[in-house]
Structures are given as structure tokens and as C-alpha cells.
Structure 1
């Protein structure tokens, strides 16, 4: 078996408006995680609580017969931290898949998904990172749909971070029944549009009533940037994950106009950021080198 492996993990954009904690999209933006077996007593270099937790879960699995061993890990790539693009999943899944490869592959993708979801706490980022494409998932099962290359995500990535713990603390303990009903209808319509590839019918189904209104103070210019993107030709937009990235979906050829309009809306709030236009990733996390 190899002593070192590199795993490529795509960025993920979760929630996608009304799909709170259950919908996610893999993007063609990647981090690479390298895991290397070391000699000596079991240890992790550098030490990191997230890596320690996921490695402990891995070695506790019934199908993993290898004893814990010393390893180092490193990460690089283009997925920014604390911007709502699944950076934590790239670490957890990258290390998990790296250890799995170094142990001869005892866990299959379904097991990797379940284990990583347990560590992450919710599956909306994990499912697309593992399987690629557009994913619908709960803690036990998932559905995945191929995304056509004509659909692009225009990402507005502000220069400020939003910590997930702060974003979750902004949410109320309850919401009006009418808001929950509207969210359910929008989420169902959104899934149907992705499942059929009729992206132009997504429209207002990206509107959310469960989390985005309560997080808008954490991301100045959120709704203004979405409105500007739609006016410039986007199908619709949403807060990616818990932010701070704002995403607009489009099948238009002129993505630069959408990106510029979104960026200008952000600048008007006094904030700065950059834009990236990417298609979906339909592969998911994969081994780069052995």
C-alpha cells in the first residue's frame, strides 16, 4: 500500500436557498488534501481538532481493521475558508478518503458519506462533495443528479468571513407556519428543476424564509447583490451555505455582466470581494496521486 495519497475535493454550495441543511451543489473549485503515513507512535501532524475527530471515527469503523497510525496532512487549493463553500468538508473528507486509501479502501462511498456527515453534523455539503453534481440528502440517504455544463454559478466572495456558529445562532427557534409552507413548495420546485434539467424554471424557487432573512445582517448587500445579478441575466441567487459567499445561477453566456453587477452591489455597502464563475463538478472527491 502507498505511504502517501492526495485527494481532490470540490467546493460545495449548500442550502441553495430553501434547501436548508439538505440541498447542495458541487462546484469546479477544489482543495487538495495530502495524507502521508509516518513512522513512530500514532500522532497527527499538524494537530488539528477536526482532523483528530475524523481520524478517530475512521479507525473506530468495524470494516477498518488497521490500527491507528501516525500521519501528516496538508491542504492547498482554491476553496476559501469560512465563506460558505464547504471548506470544512474539504478537510474532513480529504483526510477521511486519504486514510481510507492508505488502509486499502475498506470503506465504500456510502460509508464515507455517512461517516463524514456524522462529523460535519449535516449532509448538505457532504453529499455533493462525495458524489458530485446536485445532491439531496438527509442523515441516512441521498439522491444525486448530474448538472449540465450550461448551468454556471456566479460566486461573489466577500473579503469578510462568516463563522458557521454565528450564522446558526442568528436563526430563530421557530418560524411562522406560512413561511415553512412556502419554503417547502420552493424546495420541491427547485429539486424538480435540477432533476429534469429545466434550470430556467428555477426562478423564484430560490427564495428562502428559514435562514436567509435572519442572516442578512451578517452579509451586507446579500439581497441587493442577488437582485443585481438577476437584473443582469441570472436565473436567481442565494446565500451559499451560511455565507459570506453569494451565488447566482445562470445559463446566460454573458456571465461577466452578472458578476460585475453583483460586485458593484456589494461595493455600494462598503464591502469588497471577488467574483468567480464556475460550472458544477459531476465527479466529486477523487484520488489524485497514489
Structure 2
């Protein structure tokens, strides 16, 4: 947490798998959650970089209660889908807090997200502030979704690459 101020990054690296983390009263709090073994991920990584400053500047300073409530409700769906892929709802990855406001910074992202879903991804979204797009897939379809991601990048005239990613379920392992 001291490196980048993000407890979730440190906790995921140490614990592995799916982790919920935050900072409470200045101290990181992290919990390991169930991550279905069927799940894999695909990342579309454009060569185009977005500055964190610009990505943050695109956000609203105040959030309507309806948007906050909608995102919190989707978080519950997302956790359920991560625990059991059969329960995954594509709406779990819909967002009203940051993606619509950052869309002008990377307009092609909407086509990429929709295309990944059409190609068989369970859901897709921006990864953090972008410009990487993350798709959740079933392991059996991950290679097809990855290949579709390559084609989507080319169709959108976005230079980049598509990678299949497997979750690190073990985290930090110390051996001696």
C-alpha cells in the first residue's frame, strides 16, 4: 500500500485469487474471496496510453445516488459471478461511475467492450482508468475471445495486443 496507495493491488499480489480490499482508519483490510476455477480473463492492451491525470479529470466530482446504488448492486452480481461462473450476469460489469465519462478519452472502447461480449465473454469493462479493456471468460472459450479481441482491435484501427490471462490463485509464495 505504501508504494501506490492502493491496498487492492498489494493484497491481490500477496493473497492471489480474488481479493476485496480497502483502507480503514489508515490500515489496509483485505479478504480472500472465492474465484470459480472455470474463469479466465482476456486483456486488450492498446498501445495508446491514457494519462492518469486526464482519466481522473474526466470524472464527476459528485455522483448521483442512483448511479452509486446501481454500481453497488452490480458489485454484488459481480462477486456472485466470480464465485460461480454459472451465475455471471453481463450487467455485473456495466458501469455508471467512470466509463461513460472517460469514453471521450478512448471512444473505441465501447466497440471493443461490446465486441468482446458478442464474441462470448461473460462481461467486459475498462481495467482501472484504461486504456486496457478486461474481459471475463470461461476458460474453454478464452482463446476464441482472445482471437476475437485481436480482430476487434484491428477493425477499430487500434494498435495493440490481446492476451489470455490466468488468475494467480496462490499469490506471494516464499520458499527457502
Task: State the TM-score, normalized to the length of structure 2.
Answer: 0.86
Q: Distance in 2 between matches of 1:281 and 1:216?
A: 30
Question: Which residue of structure 2 aligns with residue 67 of structure 1?
Answer: none
Q: Distance in 2 between matches of 1:248 and 1:256?
A: 12
* Post-superposition offset of 1:225: 1.2
* Post-superposition offset of 1:287: 4.6
Q: Does 1:190 align with 2:74?
A: no
CA RMSD of aligned residues (A): 2.0
* Post-superposition offset of 1:252: 5.1
Local SS of the residue matching 2:8: coil
Question: In the alignment, is the contact (CA less than 8 A) between 2:36 and 2:85 conserved in 1?
Answer: no
> Could you say which structure has the greater relative contact order, defined with CA pairs below 8 angstroms and 6 or more residues apart?
2
Q: Does 1:269 align with 2:156?
A: yes
Per-residue CA deviation, residues 245-265 of structure 1 (Å, 9 max, x unaligned), is 111111152323212323333
Question: Which residue of structure 2 aligns with residue 69 of structure 1?
Answer: none
Question: In the alignment, is the contact (CA less than 8 A) between 1:229 and 1:237 conserved in 2?
Answer: yes
Question: Which residue of structure 2 aligns with residue 201 of structure 1?
Answer: 87
Which one has a bigger Cα radius of gyration? 1
Question: Which residue of structure 2 aligns with residue 236 of structure 1?
Answer: 123
* Post-superposition offset of 1:201: 2.1
Question: Which residue of structure 2 aligns with residue 124 of structure 1?
Answer: 8
The number of aligned residues is 171
Question: Which residue of structure 2 aligns with residue 133 of structure 1?
Answer: 17
Q: Distance in 2 between matches of 1:175 and 1:229?
A: 28
Per-residue CA deviation, residues 2-53 of structure 1 (Å, 9 max, x unaligned), is xxxxxxxxxxxxxxxxxxxxxxxxxxxxxxxxxxxxxxxxxxxxxxxxxxxx
Stretches of structure 2 that go unaligned for 5 or more consecutive residues are: none
Q: Does 1:151 align with 2:39?
A: yes
Local SS of the residue matching 2:7: coil
Where do 4+ consecutive residues of structure 1 move more than 4 Å? none
Per-residue CA deviation, residues 166-211 of structure 1 (Å, 9 max, x unaligned), is 22222110122211110010012212333xx212322211111111
More helix by share: 2
Q: 1:269 to 1:193 in 2, by over 3 A?
A: closer
Structure 2 counterparts to residues 3-42 of structure 1, below 5 A: none
Q: 1:192 to 1:149 in 2, by over 3 A?
A: closer
Task: State the TM-score, normalized to the length of structure 1.
Answer: 0.54
